[in-house]
Chains A and B, each alone.
Chain A
């Protein structure tokens, strides 16, 4: 059981380059999300999705795009990378029961992508 799979593990970009961070889950979770982790700042929500075709912004969405064409995949796109986007990126997914009424939701994380923008 693979869980949440992120690729690549490491990436170095030059300022202005574009790239896509991949995230896939095999647990049939409706909910998927992207976080960035910076030293001393915990994890901050970038974008999230509650199902195929539905995405929404988190706390720090600027500079990032997402789409959700299938239940399994939730790629994160950097259209023009900036040094401020140097960070560790985590994808996470969860089952969501009864709409917003929490019953058994648990957020599972991938192993992360370490991104450096020079």
Chain B
């Protein structure tokens, strides 16, 4: 089936540092969504992107829809302890009604 390559798989960072993660694929997507998931909960939507090249911010989070429509990036600036969790990308596969998810980036913030 379709796959989204998400990296890094996990990262430890110091509080106050910036974080970057990305999702790439050989397929084309019409929408990119970025989620955060905490233990025992469902994914919570952080940012939605709808056009190639689009750059969107939500507080300290910034995400971009890649120009080729095959990738997307999420940046978190000045990380804080409550940023801990698993971050997922999801892409709406072009020509379908199928959202495909990345395998997640586990973020751990050291105070």
Binding site for B on A (CB under 8 A): 4, 31, 33, 35, 40-45, 48, 50, 56, 58-60, 90, 92, 96, 100-112
The number of chain B residues touching the other chain, given as a range, is 20 to 34
Contact B88 A100 (CB under 8 A): no
Kindly state the separation between the CA atoms of A35 and B41 in the bound complex, as whole angstroms: 14
Given known contacts A42-B102, A102-B50, A102-B92, A108 and B45 CB-to-CB distance under 8 angstroms: yes
Verify A50–B97 contact, CB threshold 8 A.
Answer: yes
* B87 CB, nearest partner CB in chain A, Å: 11
| B45 touches which of A42, A56, A106, A112 (Cβ 8 Å) | A106
Complex contact A109–B42 (CB within 8 A): yes
**A112: which of B42, B90, B96 is its contact (CB, 8 Å)?**
B42
Whether A43 and B88, one on each chain, are in contact in the complex, defined by CB atoms closer than 8 angstroms, is: yes
**In the complex, what residues of A have CB within 8 A of residue B40's CB?**
112
Asked if B82 CB lies within 8 Å of chain A CBs, one says no
Contacts A90-B43, A107-B90, A112-B42; is A45 near B99 (CB within 8 Å)? yes
Q: Tell me the B residues contacting A by CB distance below 8 Å.
A: 1-2, 4, 6, 30-31, 33, 35, 40-45, 48, 50, 88, 90, 92, 95-104
Decide: A35 near B30, CB < 8 A? Known: A90-B42, A112-B41. no
Min distance, Cβ B33 to any Cβ of chain A, angstroms = 6
The answer on a CB contact under 8 Å between A107 and B45 is yes
Given contacts A4-B42, A42-B4, A111-B42, 13 further A-B contacts (CB under 8 A): A40-B103, A42-B103, A45-B98, A45-B100, A48-B98, A59-B100, A100-B97, A103-B50, A105-B92, A106-B33, A106-B45, A107-B90, A109-B43
